[in-house]
Structure 1
Amino acid sequence: MVTEDVERDLTRVGSIDPLEPLNMTVYAGDESINWPKTVKKLNKKYPVVVFSKSYCPYSRRAKKLLETYHIQPAPKVVEVDLRLDDDIIKAILGRTTQHHTFPNILIRGKSIGGSDDLQALHAERTLTRVLEQAGASVRNSGTGK
């Protein structure tokens, strides 16, 4: 869902049939992409990706908590509601992660769920370990200092 530093516009894709298997060329367009190589590169560049809605209190809560960890590289935040292809992004996220609400937090390309799931990892004091195992550097264990 995130390509390099440019987010591809999916408005020209048309509709996605939720009953059909998802072909990643929907996102890649006509380009020939080596998906295993691309996914590995993106996971290294953005070990934490937050698909958010700018007006959503749960999204704000999750982003605020992640900020307290001073994660490097910084989480990639995609404000889905500010994109023209928001319906398509939501459909792709739901299909690929089985998480249909926002925020949808991906760590190394796997959804950990939403704000409540992130808060639970923080409360259990396991979030730092999860982030570090994903390849992120954590300068602060969410204490807000």
Structure 2
Amino acid sequence: MASTTFRRFSVAAAAAAFIALAAFGSASASKTAFVKSTVKAHDVVIFSKSYCPYCKRAKAVFKELELKKDPYVVELDQREDGGEIQDALSDMVGRRTVPQVFIRGKHLGGSDDTVDAYENGELAKLLNISVKDDL
């Protein structure tokens, strides 16, 4: 009798684990789809956290450029699913840190990458804009 009860519990536990894993997998897939569709829909996308100084620094670069259209910013800390989106970003780009910046569908990187691209002119090329020379 005890072995029958144990088998029933084991089968029930395995089924519950499978359902939880399937639900997590589909949630993860839907967050990956969200990231991909967001990146595809906008020229500049910044996955950010509103309080993060590195995110503020990356966003300031785009303000400096005075683009005709502001970057599309996803503030992960202001969304219930922000952690899941951040996990999806980690799976996609190999980094869980924020910000993560995308230009015309291409992953640029984080804050340092964005500042470096701005300073060396790569960002202007990616955005197909001319930058005023301060000299």
Q: Residue 52 of structure 1 contacts residue 78 of structure 1 at CA under 8 Å; is this kept in 2?
A: yes
Q: Residue 53 of structure 2 aligns to which amino acid in structure 1?
A: P
Contact 2:49-2:98 at 8 Å conserved across structures = yes
Letter of the 2:105 partner, please give it.
G
- The percentage of aligned residue pairs carrying the same residue is 32
Do the aligned partners of residues 120 and 28 (structure 1) sit closer, same or farther apart at CA in structure 2, a change above 3 Å counting? closer
Give unpaired runs (5+ residues) of structure 1. 1-12, 30-37, 133-137
* CA spacing shift, 1:63–1:122, aligned 2, 3 Å: same
Identify the residue that residue 15 of structure 1 maps to in structure 2: 24
CA contact (8 A) 1:68 1:141 kept: no
1:55 Cα shift?
0.5
Whichever structure has more helix as a proportion of its residues is 2
- RMSD between superposed Cα atoms in Å: 3.2
Deviation at 1:23?
7.1
Q: Is contact 2:32-2:85 (8 Å) kept? A: no
Which of 30, 44, 51 does residue 48 from structure 1 map onto?
Answer: 44
Displacement of 1:96 in angstroms is 1.4
The answer (yes or no) to whether the contact 1:51–1:104 under 8 Å persists in 2 is yes
Choose from 111, 131, 135 the match for 1:141.
131
TM-aligned CA deviation for residue 88 of structure 1: 0.5
Q: How does 1:1-145 map to 2 (within 5 A)?
A: 15-16=24-25, 24=29, 26-27=30-31, 39=37, 43=40, 45-132=41-128, 138=129, 141=131
Distance 1:142 1:67, change over 3 A: farther
Amino acid at match of 2:131: S
Aligned residues: 111
Per the TM alignment, residue 14 of structure 1 is displaced from its structure 2 partner at its CA by 5.2
Give the TM-score of the pair, scaled to structure 1. 0.63
Q: Return structure 1 stretches of 4+ with deviation > 4 angstroms.
A: none
Q: State the AA in 1 paired with 2:82.
A: D
**Structure with bigger gyration radius:** 2
* CA displacement, residues 93-128 of structure 1 (integer Å, 9 cap, x when unaligned): 111122221000011222211010011111212210
Counterparts in 2 of 1:58 and 1:42: CA distance versus 1, 3 Å = closer
5+ residue gaps in structure 2?
A: 1-21
